[in-house]
Amino acid sequence: MLSVMGMALVSAGCTGNRGSRETEAAGGAAAEGNLERTETGGSNPEGEAATGNNREGVKTDGNHPDKEKEADNNGKETEIQVFIAASLNTVMTELGKMYQEEHPEVKITYNADSSGTLLIQIEEGYECDIFFSAAQKQMDQLEADGLMKGGTRANVVNNQLVVVTRKDSGTKVKGLDSFKDAESIALAGGSVPVGKYTRQALVRCGILEESEDVSAITTRQVSDALGGVEISEQDNVSKVLSAVVEGSCEVGTTYYSDIYGYEDELDILETVSYELTGNVIYPIARVANEEADEAQDRAADEFLDFILSDQAKTVFESYYFNTDVE
């Protein structure tokens, strides 16, 4: 086993070359012992994962020395609505606070949930300025719906699927190819990107049958293919993580970045090869928000620029995201 920040990292599974993630990113905040999770409605070890109705703003401007530099010089605060995949919650919370140190006049309100749920909300008319998805599928649909501001789409980070368990679980599972040996599995639904990537990997492992749309493979079908193992279907990756951390499920599939802050509690049983999942690219784009005024549009544009900056890239890397994307 390779030891990474107290976290066991094992490469095993249904293909030879399994562990392709480097772990230098564990430097940053984690290396300094800063493993506390800051939440704005996303994942946490108490299981209070983000839901579509959890719209808590990241607001850290209370005692900023330059508070007098308010938007429009009239003390008004500009609020932007940023919809983020649940797996981005922790890193985006830090980035939001960093941004507000320089822009105290901007309030950033995050809505963190599965990318599929967020897309539905946007389509239903929820006010949104920026959409940061955990998969291309939802961003493609946003663009097809005519809800994206042209020329604003960009790929930001790559992630990787991992199979995790508590350090004290005593599981017999080594990876996806031994999922059938689990007592219970936490698995996101097929409409959730991490659930789709898991199903894709199981298809390519030969455990699930081929399907035109792997996201349509039901949890029952997965369970049957694994010999009837108990599967707890979760709404987003944060809830999968919570189920494993709390011990209510023996194993689960999350993203590599979700391990940040839980290195002392979780073992990575398998880092799933991109050959099985494809790249796990997170795209971002501005959403056409008819309710936004000029100040809000400008604030959203500037925050998007910040997320795409080299400064933000360093923060993403410290939270175990891969920023080497095109």
CATH number of 35-158+281-318: 3.40.190.10
**The two structure tokens encoding residue 34:** 């800063």
**pLDDT category of residue 35 using cuts at 50, 70 and 90:** very low
Per the model's pLDDT, the better-predicted residue between 14 and 130 turns out to be 130
Q: How much is the pLDDT for 71?
A: 42
Which band of pLDDT confidence, cut at 50, 70 and 90, is reported for residue 76?
confident
Tokens found for residue 182: 């689990």
Distances (CA, A) of 149 to 10, 18, 94, 237, 251: 42, 38, 26, 28, 40
Contact at 8 Å (CB) between 102 and 132?
no
CATH topology identical between 2-23+160-277 and 35-158+281-318: yes
Q: Where are the beta strands (DSSP E) in 29-172?
A: 57-58, 78-85, 106-113, 130-132, 154-159, 161-166
Structure tokens at 227: 């010999």
On whether the CB atoms of residues 127 and 57 are closer than 8 A, the answer is no
Average pLDDT over residues 49-53: 38
Q: Which pLDDT score, from 0 to 100, does residue 314 have? A: 98
Are the beta carbons of 132 and 84 closer than 8 angstroms? yes
Output Rg (C-alpha) for the chain, integer angstroms.
Answer: 20
Structure tokens at 187: 């698995």
The continuous run of DSSP H or E covering 141 comes out as helix 136-144
Give dist(CA 18, CA 259) in Å, integer.
18
Structure tokens at 289: 């928000």
Tokens of 36: 């506390």
Q: How high is the pLDDT of residue 74?
A: 55
Secondary structure (3-state) at 136: helix
Closest among 225, 116, 239, 240 to 176, alpha carbons compared:
225
184 membership: H or E segment, kind and range: strand 184-188
Average pLDDT, the chain: 84
Nearest one of 180, 188, 185, 134 to 164, comparing CA atoms: 185
**pLDDT on residue 204:** 97
**pLDDT tens track for 96-128:** 999 999 999 999 999 999 999 999 999 999 999
Q: Using the predicted structure, report yes or no on whether residue 270 has a pLDDT greater than 80.
A: yes
Burial of residue 288 (CB within 10 Å: 0-12, 13-18, 19+) is middle
How far apart, in whole angstroms, are the C-alpha atoms of residue 98 and residue 16? 41
Alpha-carbon separation of residue 166 from 7, 241, 249 (angstroms): 10, 10, 9
- What's the pTM? 0.78
Query: Domain locations in the chain?
Result: 2-23+160-277, 35-158+281-318
The matching CATH number, chosen from 3.60.10.10, 3.40.190.10, 3.90.1150.10, 3.30.9.10, for 2-23+160-277 is 3.40.190.10
Pairing of strands 154-159, 130-132: unpaired
What distance in Å separates the CA atoms of residue 204 and residue 149, rounded to the nearest whole number?
36
What are residue 80's DSSP bridge partners? 108
pLDDT for 17 equals 39
Give the residue among 105, 119, 123, 121 at the shortest CA–CA distance from 283. 119
Dist. CA 220–CA 8, nearest whole Å: 30
